[in-house]
Amino acid sequence: MGSLTLLRHVESTWSVEHRFTGASDVPITPDGADAALALAPMIAALRIDTAYVSGLLRARQTLDIVLRELERSDLPVIVEPRLNERAFGTLEGMEKGAAEERFGKQALSRWRSSFVEAPPDGESLQETASRTQPVVFENLLPAVQRGENVLVVAHGDSLKTIIMMLEELSPETVLSLKLQPGEFVFYVVSENGSIERRLSPPVSVSSD
Confidence (pLDDT) at 1:
77
What's the per-residue H, E or C state across 48-100?
Answer: CCEEEECCCHHHHHHHHHHHHHHCCCCCCEEECHHHCCCCCHHHCCCEHHHHH
- State the pLDDT confidence band at 189, using cuts at 50, 70 and 90: confident
pLDDT in tens, 77-126: 999 999 999 999 999 999 999 999 999 999 999 998 899 999 999 999 99
Instruction: Report yes or no on 93 lying in a domain.
Output: no
9/179 Cα distance (integer angstroms): 10
What is the model's pLDDT at position 176? 87
Kindly report the number of other CB atoms within 10 A of residue 166's CB atom.
Answer: 20
Angle at 49 between CA 44 and CA 50, to 5 degrees: 110
Is residue 140 included in any domain, yes or no? yes
Q: State residue 191's pLDDT score.
A: 67
Q: Look at residue 30 and tell me if it is in a domain.
A: yes
120: in domain: no
CA atoms lying within 13 Å on the CB side of residue 36: 26
Q: Which residue has the higher pLDDT, 203 or 196?
A: 196
Is a pLDDT exceeding 80 seen at residue 172? Answer: yes
Q: Is residue 196 very low, low, confident or very high in pLDDT (cuts 50, 70, 90)?
A: confident
Residue 152, domain extent: 3-87+127-199
Residue 136's CATH number: 3.40.50.1240
CA dihedral 35, 38, 195, 55 (to 10 degrees): 50
- In percent, the amount of the chain with pLDDT more than 90 equals 83
Specify if 53 maps to a domain. Answer: yes
For the annotated catalytic residues, the residue numbers are 9, 85
Is 110 among the domain residues?
no
Residue 199, sorted as left (phi over 0), alpha (psi -120 to 50) or beta, turns out to be beta
Query: Using 50, 70 and 90 to split pLDDT, how confident is the model at 197?
Result: confident
- Residues recorded for the chain: 208
Q: Would you say residue 207 lies in a domain?
A: no
Mean pLDDT within 158-165? 95
- Res. 198: pLDDT tops 80: no
Cα separation values, 155 from 9, 67, 105, 112, 159, Å: 6, 18, 24, 15, 6
Provide CB contacts within 8 A for 64, sequence distance 6+: none
What is the average per-residue pLDDT within 136-144? 95
What element of type H or E holds 10? none
Q: What's the whole-model pTM score? A: 0.92
Alpha-carbon span 36 to 176, nearest angstrom? 25
Please count the structural domains in the chain: 1
184 belongs to a structural domain: yes
Q: Is the pLDDT of residue 200 over 50?
A: no
Determine the Cα–Cα distance for residues 37 and 39; give it in Å rounded to an integer.
5
Mean pLDDT, rounded, of the chain? 92
Confidence of residue 204 (pLDDT cuts 50, 70, 90): very low
